Amino acid sequence: MTDVQVCDWAGFWDAKAVSPTDFQATGRGGMDVVGFLYTVGEIVRLLAFRPADELLDIGCGTGLIALSLAPWVSRIKGVDISSGMVDRARSNLDHVPNVDVAVGSITNLHEPDDSYDKVLAYSVLQYLADESMLREALNDVFRVLRPGGRALLAANPDPSRRSRLEEVIRTRPDKEAVEKELSLLDQVLWVEPARMLTLAEEAGFSPRIEPISPCIWQHFYMFDLVLDKHG
């Protein structure tokens, strides 16, 4: 993590929101349909949905995951820091009655205490500026989660695997794009899994680390964090 946060992430995702496809808009331009379905399958497995569950989807992007999960739960609230993403998600979810979306941040959730059975944040923590903001995020997720609930904070980059990602990026033919991608790696938050567990425990959770399925392309440098809030 660099000392100076160059990226305006809300502006970054607003620019992405006008991409031709929803996968490109959410930064998954290289993901195929099979990889996306495995992603949804892992979310369903790890969050162990029940029909009456109310889900908070943080960093909902264009709403594809919420659209996929809507049949599994009673209600979904999606939030994203990008107003452009929220507009696109509303269009995608226009005919889904149990999902609504709004602008919001994982460090400042405008939701009542103990209001959700499940919380999902997929590839969100890495866009926080520092460990202080990570603590805020964990505390706010704990606050809005009901006792007995579970959160999945998925796809977190592991600093011990960064060199492997850099190797993959350098194999790409467009050298200008390679340099841009490598520079972006300095703007995201890399936290060791053991440190993530410690911070989650300090927030009050019973946490565990889960590997990402090898059928999902990020698996070789990212990990999932599963958080249980006991009653």
CATH of domain 9-228: 3.40.50.150
Sheet containing 116-122: order of strands: 99-103, 75-80, 54-58, 116-122, 145-157, 222-228, 206-211
pLDDT (0 to 100) of residue 30: 67
pLDDT given at position 32: 81
For residue 225, which of 46, 35, 38, 28 has the smallest C-alpha distance?
46
What is the biggest distance separating any 2 CA atoms in the chain, rounded to whole angstroms?
A: 52
Q: Per-residue confidence of the chain (231 residues) as pLDDT tens digits? A: 333 344 789 999 999 999 998 888 887 756 788 989 999 999 999 999 999 999 999 999 999 999 999 999 999 999 999 999 999 999 999 999 999 999 999 998 999 999 999 999 999 999 999 999 999 999 999 999 999 999 999 999 999 999 999 999 999 899 898 998 899 899 999 999 999 999 999 999 999 999 999 999 889 999 999 999 997
Give the model's pLDDT for residue 3: 36
Give yes or no for a contact between 64 and 22, defined as CB atoms under 8 angstroms apart: yes
| In the chain, where the domains are located | 9-228
Count how many residues are written for the chain. Answer: 231
**pLDDT at residue 152, rounded to an integer:** 98
pTM of the model: 0.94
Distance CA(32)–CA(12), nearest Å, equals: 23
* pLDDT for the residue numbered 231: 79
Nearest to residue 203, comparing CAs of 127, 104, 126, 125?
A: 125
